[in-house]
C-alpha cells in the first residue's frame, strides 16, 4: 500500500479511502490511485484491515452437509445475496453433529466474521453464549423457535408434517406409516416425526413409525424401506416418507413389484424436489422454500448489518416462510 501511495503521490490513508470510501476522495486523486494500483498489481491485505477495524467482510455459515441438494441450494442462495454487498462466505460443514458445530463455530469466530448463519435451532449449550457475548448478527435457518439466538428464518417442520399427515387422513387412509431417519441426528426430521405423531393422535389413529437404514437419505434406502413395508403381513395403506428422495425410491419399488400407487400403497414425500414431479406417478409432497431460506437469511444478515447490531428488540425475530401441501397422484 505504501508503494501505491508513493506512486500516486499521496498518503497511504488516501489509498485506503480510495478503496473503502471512494466518495470521500477527489476524482483526480482517485484516478491516480487506481492507476498506481493497476501498475503495481496491488491487492489489499484484508487481514490487516480486519485486525484494525475489527470488521471483516466474511459471513460464517455452518451446514450439516452439502451433499443434500436442499442445503446446497440454501447456501448457494445465501452466497448470492451476500455477494451483492461484497461479503464472502466462510463455510463449515458439521456432519449433523452439534458438538462439531460448536467447535467449528469457535474457529470461524476467530476469523472475525461480521455475521453467523446456522442451520437449525438446536445447538450445543456453548453456542448461544458464544454468539450472544459477541453481539453478532446471527440467523438460524430451516426451523423456527420461540427463542432464537437472534433471528430465525424457515418454516415449521412440525406443522408441515402434521398438515401432510392430516391430508392423508382426510383422504381416507387409516393405516398411515411414517418412514423417518434414525432418531437423534437430523433435527428437522425429528420435528417431522413429531408432527406426524401429533396428527395421528388428532385423527385417533395408531402411529406406525419405520426407520430408514442410513442417514444419507438415498433413493436406495427408500427402496429398502418400501420393501420392508410391503413385505409385512399387513402393509400400511399409506406411507409418508421423510423426504422426496426416499419416497421416490418407494414408488420405484412399487412399480417393480406391480403394486399400484396409490391404490396398493399411497406414498407421500417431503420437499417437492424436482424428483417429485418426475416420479411416476408424481409425488404428493410438501413444498418447502429451500432457496428462499438462503435468500432471506442473506437479507436478514444485511438488515442487521445496516441497522445497529443489538438494537431494535421490537423487530420480528422470526420469519416464517411457510410450506404447502402439494397433491399429486401418488397419494
Return the residue of 195, 249, 269, 271 that touches its own copies, per CB under 8 A. Answer: 249
- CB atoms under 10 Å from CB of 48, counted, come to 10
Yes or no: say if 296 and 77 are a contact pair by the CB < 8 Å rule. no
Of 147 and 308, the one with the shorter C-beta distance to DNA is 308
* Exposure string for 81-113, b = 16+ CB within 10 A, e = fewer: bbeeeebebbbbbbebebebbbebbeebbeebb
Of DNA, its own copies, none, which one does residue 230 interact with (CB within 5 to 8 Å by kind)?
Answer: none
Q: Is the dihedral of CA 238, 241, 246, 248 positive or negative?
A: positive
86 lines the binding site for DNA (CB under 7 A): no
Of its own copies, DNA, none, which one does residue 80 interact with (CB within 5 to 8 Å by kind)?
Answer: its own copies
24 lines the binding site for DNA (CB under 7 A): yes
Q: What part of residues 227-246 is at the interface with its own copies (CB under 8 A)?
A: 245
Yes or no: say if 267 and 275 are a contact pair by the CB < 8 Å rule. no
Q: In what order do the strands lie in the sheet with 176-180?
A: 209-211, 176-180, 238-241, 266-268
**Chain CA centroid to CA 205, Å:** 32
Return the residue of 7, 34, 40, 44 that touches DNA, per CB under 7 A. Answer: 44
Of 52 and 147, the one with the shorter C-beta distance to DNA is 52
45 lines the binding site for DNA (CB under 7 A): yes
Cis before 281 (ω within 30): yes
Yes or no: say if 105 and 127 are a contact pair by the CB < 8 Å rule. yes
Burial of 144 (0-12, 13-18, 19+ CB in 10 A): buried
Q: What mask of x and - would describe binding to its own copies in positions 251 to 290, judged by CB under 8 A?
A: -x--x------------------xx-xx-x----------
Residue 10 CB, nearest approach to DNA (Å): 4
Residue 112 CB, nearest approach to DNA (Å): 9
CA pair distance 244, 70, nearest whole angstrom: 11
Task: Identify the DSSP state of 178.
Answer: E
Return the residue of 35, 38, 39, 55 that touches DNA, per CB under 7 A. Answer: 55
Return the residue of 6, 29, 194, 205 that touches DNA, per CB under 7 A. Answer: 29
Of 127 and 144, the one with the shorter C-beta distance to its own copies is 127
Of its own copies, DNA, none, which one does residue 16 interact with (CB within 5 to 8 Å by kind)?
Answer: DNA
Of 67 and 232, the one with the shorter C-beta distance to its own copies is 67
Of its own copies, DNA, none, which one does residue 10 interact with (CB within 5 to 8 Å by kind)?
Answer: DNA
- CB atoms under 10 Å from CB of 263, counted, come to 9
Of DNA, its own copies, none, which one does residue 325 interact with (CB within 5 to 8 Å by kind)?
Answer: none
3-state helix, strand, coil in the chain (%, to 5): 50, 15, 35
Q: What part of residues 94-153 is at the interface with its own copies (CB under 8 A)?
A: 104, 106-112, 129-130, 133
Measured at the CA of 227, the angle between CA 224 and CA 229, to 5 degrees, comes to 115
Residue 30 CB, nearest approach to its own copies (Å): 19
Give the end-to-end CA distance of the chain in Å, rounded to a whole number.
65
Summarize as ranges the residues that interact with DNA (CB under 7 A): 1-2, 9-14, 16-17, 19-20, 24-26, 28-29, 42, 44-45, 48-49, 51-55
- The residues that touch its own copies, with contacts defined as CB under 8 A, are 41, 43-48, 50-51, 56-58, 65-67, 69, 72-73, 75-76, 79-80, 83, 86, 88-93, 104, 106-112, 129-130, 133, 218-220, 245, 248-249, 252, 255, 274-275, 277-278, 280
Amino acid at each position: 500500500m505504501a508503494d501505491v501511495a508513493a506512486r500516486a503521490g499521496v498518503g497511504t490513508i488516501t489509498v485506503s479511502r480510495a478503496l473503502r470510501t471512494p466518495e470521500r476522495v477527489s476524482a483526480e486523486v482517485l484516478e491516480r490511485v487506481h492507476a498506481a494500483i493497476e501498475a503495481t498489481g496491488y491487492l489489499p491485505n484484508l487481514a490487516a484491515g480486519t485486525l484494525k477495524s475489527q470488521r471483516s467482510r466474511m459471513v460464517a455459515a455452518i451446514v450439516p452437509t452439502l451433499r443434500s441438494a436442499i442445503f446446497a441450494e440454501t447456501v448457494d442462495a445465501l452466497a448470492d445475496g451476500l455477494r451483492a454487498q461484497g461479503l464472502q462466505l466462510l463455510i463449515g460443514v458439521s456432519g449433523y453433529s452439534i458438538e462439531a458445530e460448536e467447535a467449528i463455530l469457535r474457529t470461524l469466530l476467530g476469523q472475525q466474521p461480521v455475521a453467523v448463519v446456522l442451520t437449525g435451532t438446536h445447538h450445543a449449550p456453548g453456542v448461544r453464549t458464544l454468539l450472544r457475548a459477541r453481539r453478532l448478527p446471527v440467523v438460524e435457518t430451516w426451523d423456527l423457535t420461540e427463542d432464537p439466538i437472534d433471528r430465525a428464518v424457515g418454516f415449521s417442520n412440525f406443522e408441515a408434517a402434521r398438515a401432510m399427515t392430516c391430508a392423508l387422513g382426510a383422504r381416507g387412509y387409516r393405516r398411515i406409516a411414517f418412514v423417518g431417519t434414525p432418531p437423534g441426528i437430523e433435527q428437522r426430521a425429528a420435528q417431522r416425526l413429531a408432527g406426524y405423531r401429533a396428527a395421528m393422535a388428532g385423527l385417533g389413529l395408531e402411529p406406525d413409525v419405520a426407520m430408514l437404514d442410513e442417514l444419507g437419505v438415498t433413493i436406495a434406502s427408500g427402496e429398502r424401506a418400501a420393501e420392508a413395508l410391503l413385505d409385512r403381513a399387513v402393509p400400511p395403506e399409506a406411507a409418508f416418507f421423510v423426504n422426496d428422495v426416499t419416497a421416490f425410491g418407494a414408488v420405484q419399488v412399487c412399480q417393480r413389484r406391480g403394486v399400484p400407487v396409490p391404490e396398493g400403497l399411497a406414498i407421500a414425500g417431503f420437499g417437492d424436489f424436482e424428483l417429485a414431479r418426475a416420479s411416476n406417478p408424481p409425488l404428493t409432497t410438501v413444498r418447502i422454500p429451500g432457496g428462499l431460506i438462503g435468500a432471506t437469511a442473506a437479507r436478514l444478515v444485511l438488515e442487521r448489518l445496516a441497522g445497529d447490531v443489538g438494537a431494535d428488540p421490537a423487530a420480528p425475530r422470526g420469519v416464517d416462510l411457510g410450506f404447502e401441501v402439494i397433491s399429486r397422484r401418488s397419494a
